[in-house]
Chain A
């Protein structure tokens, strides 16, 4: 079996390039995964960890994923008006699917290298990167909060809104951790709600 490779000085770079290419393809479009071999990519990742390149592999993965997430953040930031939420949702769905595939490929790293370190497993890493770079981006965070509230109040006012979209986006916030959901949606939502009830109740009091 493959035990001499470790002495090849270019071993890591060669194999990492294969993985990096695959990760980029999967991020570009989930559908590309159909043309990639799980067996091959899993094998490369397995041997890299076996040859003590776990740490290097992980840091390269973080770099690749971070740069990708930053690109997404830019494109979401650039989206205009009402397409903002849709763009965010589409990107999230694609990202999430890609993340699952990447986690599968790197499962040996998750299983054997990660527990001996303080690093986060691939799935968690992916969610953290998304949270820090996309949701908490200056141009996105408040806009997201406001857009969601706007949608909710439109809906309460009887207007026709895309409920599935809101459902998906709030689901994303919950997946990212309860605190994210609270900060970005629940707290501002309850505040505005309280104010609107206050206003309404004032109206009633005045009416009476």
Chain B
């Protein structure tokens, strides 16, 4: 090991006693050099004298010159005679330190680029009369200064796999090679993790040199630094002459994969090694097992392996949360930049993060390949990405270090979606899964369509896509009335929604309208009558363009036989039907059905003649105090018996609560009793520092209502409400306004009935909970926050 830098002046050569192969003629030197050209290494049998120059050397030696002839050639000389002189390989990089390695094995010289000995071979040459005595390494230069650092000499005693492949021996047998099938397995996304880097030269930045045989074992500083206390700062290599390879292997296996195994009798040594490097979870586990063996001697069995598994919480093997790697320390490394090896930039944004390649790679195969497969990013300490939203990318990097989704991201739907896309692009399976989970948890009705629009193109989001499609199908009325977002969906997605078995809709006419709007790529909402007018001066090809065929295909999913007869007649006489033959036959089929019934038996299996799996019952408002509303309906247990007060019935169908506690004058039973009560009010309660008075209805978990009308009746007081809302909710917590009354003077007499329609898209959303809530004081000055009503009824589509 040489100090930080070693600068070799022109025409000189640095020799040191310790820069030598352990075994004459065999060894490898790895180093970084900074030079414009001519990085020259000399291999000799003895140390060179002061003022040595290889051109004057008469004793046997090899000279390797990287970037000879002004950085244009690679040269190898034997005893001063040029034996290799090739153009354009193994050249120097003039603006930074570059890593190289050179190995010599009985005259077989390999030269490679990069930090990882025996990887990325750029040139090999075999001496026909091998010099098996060279041992000392001289670091030299030509006519410019050359800086050397991180010079390490490795032993080749232990046969090294990567090198043996290139050597000129071996039989016809090939079992020791990685087979093609293995390589495929390594790309397994679900099993990808830090385990893929266990003792791998890929991305390694340090070495253990273990045992008397001095076997080099590569590892990664950031991982070690976050899992224990290794002496990393001072050197590139940690030499452990007294530790055997299997022992170090067991330790590294534990860190990189979360489990390890070791013969029982070596537990103590493993404990000592873990303690030496402060890998505390393993120390603890070793001690626990040793304790158990001590207590129960029968457990002891020489030669038997014990398995030690890190108690993980995370579901994914070998990604951070399930490894004994300290998240806190890793996050610290990210903040401090210690051991980091790459700067990431985003085009037209700039620098985003200084990170550790190994951390990114352990999560992501694309990153791992980017950093190792020999393309431009593998060689560079700067990587520029394009088409990456900076905020989301930073969030992803944070996740890669701590394995957690940050609150801020969860709250921002758009960021979460971008993060999902990044997770998909960079193959971070765990993040992908977390994002999908979060998106599903935070779904709001209005984010469904835009979300589905994006997600439908991502093949790996199938589950999310199917869930969204089902949600839209079930609330179909809302989605085709709230906005025209749905026409932006791609054809297949819309097709899936239309033919979804759970499609729930108040009228088949709406399905027809939706198909026409989708076909025309509508930017405003309309019904089929509008198309009927447009088509007079146009043609279906012009109106629907590319979607014409799709429209024809989709029409067969409209259950025309369920439409009212009058509407069918209207359709039959429309313009549109003359232009679209499919529509004509479908309408004709429906009319025949109305006239003659099913007719042919094959029609029985035709879904068009069947009611949808879930369909709404229309509860239509006729007049104030009628018996068509949902609360009346509940009183008959939905048509099963004579009316009784639904709150007194055996099995309670509905629940009603008020903002103030139950009392003589605050009695939910009264509200649905269908009898007049002089005094009945909900008193105020404080919610978030505001007075709040309301009556709330819960239809129970099996029922929902799309409310389109409601009725209230004033009690005997003159406390008339002026500002109130009727609201709906799916969970009883977050509320949507169905109708807002501001300074509404409709109620002006005690005991007066009053009814209002609920219009707009929200009227098409089915809800389980409804409430009327005062938003301003009533006309009664003494008790302005008493909501005085003695009757409430809701109408609409009941499910």
Contacts and interface: CB of A to CB of B under 8 A. Distances in A.
A163 B168 contact: yes
Interface string B387-419: 101000000000000000000000000000010
Given A123-B184, A166-B172, A101 B365 contact: no
Interface stretch (B457-465, B624-632, B724-732): B457-465
Contacts of A37: 375-377
B376 A3 contact: no
Contacts of B454: 3
B457 A42 contact: no
A159 B386 CA distance: 58
Contacts of A101: 373-375
Contacts of B379: 34
Interface string A120-135: 0101000100000000
A41 to B, nearest CB: 8
Contact of A39 (B172, B385, B460): B385
A34 B376 contact: yes
B425 A38 contact: no
Contacts of B760: none
B376 A38 contact: yes
Contact of A33 (B168, B374, B385, B386): B374
Interface stretch (A62-70, A76-84, A109-117, A194-202): A109-117
A45 B363 CA distance: 20
B443 interface: no
A38 B168 contact: no
Contact of A1 (B365, B387, B460): B387
B365 to A, nearest CB: 7
B180 A38 contact: no
B369 interface: yes
A107 B386 contact: no
A16 B236 CA distance: 44
Given A39-B386, A101-B375, A1 B369 contact: no
Contacts of B172: 163, 166-167, 170
A100 B457 CA distance: 27
Contacts of A163: 168-172
A42 B370 contact: yes
Contacts of A111: 189, 427, 460
B303 to A, nearest CB: 36
B370 A38 contact: yes
B72 to A, nearest CB: 16
Contact of A167 (B170, B187, B383, B421): B170
B366 A167 contact: no
B457 A52 contact: yes
B427 to A, nearest CB: 7
Contacts of B168: 163-164
Interface string A44-68: 0011011110000000000000000
A182 interface: no
Contacts of B375: 33-34, 36-38, 41, 101
A36 B171 CA distance: 37
B187 A43 contact: no
A47 to B, nearest CB: 8
A171 B373 CA distance: 22
B459 A113 contact: yes
Nearest to A104: B369
B383 A50 contact: no
Interface string B216-258: 0000000000000000000000000000000000000000000
A171 B383 contact: no
B370 to A, nearest CB: 5
A161 to B, nearest CB: 11
Interface string A164-192: 10110011001100000000000000000
Interface in B450-480: 454, 457-460
B489 to A, nearest CB: 13
A35 interface: yes
Interface in B478-494: none
Contact of B460 (A47, A112, A175): A112
A164 B425 contact: no
A2 interface: yes
Nearest to A103: B187
A33 B460 CA distance: 29
Interface string B429-466: 00000000000000000000000001001111000000
A49 to B, nearest CB: 7
Contacts of B174: 167, 170-171, 174
Contacts of B374: 30, 33-34, 101
A95 interface: no
Contact of A35 (B184, B373, B376, B457): B376
Contacts of B746: none
Nearest to B184: A123
B494 to A, nearest CB: 15
Given A2-B387, A170-B174, A39 B370 contact: yes
A173 B523 CA distance: 61
Q: Give the interface centre of A30, A42, A47, A113 by most chain B CB atoms within 10 Å.
A: A42
B384 interface: yes
B177 interface: yes
A108 B425 contact: yes
A127 B180 contact: yes
A40 interface: yes
Contacts of A49: 459
A34 B89 CA distance: 13
In the complex, the 5 A-B pairs of residues with the closest C-beta atoms, listed nearest first: A112-B459, A38-B375, A104-B369, A38-B370, A175-B180
Given A1-B387, A107-B366, A107-B427, 17 more contacts: A1-B421, A34-B374, A34-B376, A34-B379, A37-B376, A39-B370, A39-B377, A39-B386, A50-B457, A51-B457, A108-B366, A113-B459, A123-B180, A167-B171, A167-B172, A170-B172, A170-B174
9 contacts: A33-B373, A34-B374, A37-B377, A43-B425, A46-B425, A107-B427, A167-B172, A170-B172, A171-B177
